[in-house]
Amino acid sequence: MREVIHTPLVSQSALYSQGIKAGGHIYISGLVGIDASTGKIAGTTIQDQMQAALTNCKSVLEAGGGTLEDVVEVGILLADPDDFAGMNEVYATWFPTDPPARYAAKLGAVIPGVLVSVRMTAVIG
């Protein structure tokens, strides 16, 4: 069974689902640091946008019945690889001990103003 996860706390797109729940897994799409209440990018620094992107992922995760403790993998795409240290600064506050598996790579698409995209996979139940 495949269940689409949707929350009004995260910006919407007709091109992808915020998340999909299937077979005890939650797959969260690559989400950027957009504040859904304003529809605008959450700031101009990697720290601002990383915080907002992780908040968006957490909102989708919770809408699907999961928690951060259920996350087994995080994928991070950076517009500028030089932002790696700033990204890690925020990431470490979200997963301070026993973090999930993670990868980071360069964001291939150029999206004006967007510095980071974060996706997650969680196992629940």
Domain borders along the chain are 2-123
**Which phi-psi region, left, alpha or beta, contains residue 113 (left: φ > 0; alpha: ψ -120 to 50)?**
left
Residue type, 123: V
Q: What is the CATH number of domain 2-123?
A: 3.30.1330.40
Q: Does the model's pTM come out above 0.75?
A: yes
The span from the CA of 119 to the CA of 18, in Å, is 10
Mean pLDDT by 10 residues, the chain (125 residues): 95 92 97 91 96 97 97 97 97 96 93 95 94
pLDDT tens digits for 85-96? 999 999 999 999
**Which phi-psi region, left, alpha or beta, contains residue 79 (left: φ > 0; alpha: ψ -120 to 50)?**
alpha
End-to-end CA separation in angstroms for the chain: 14
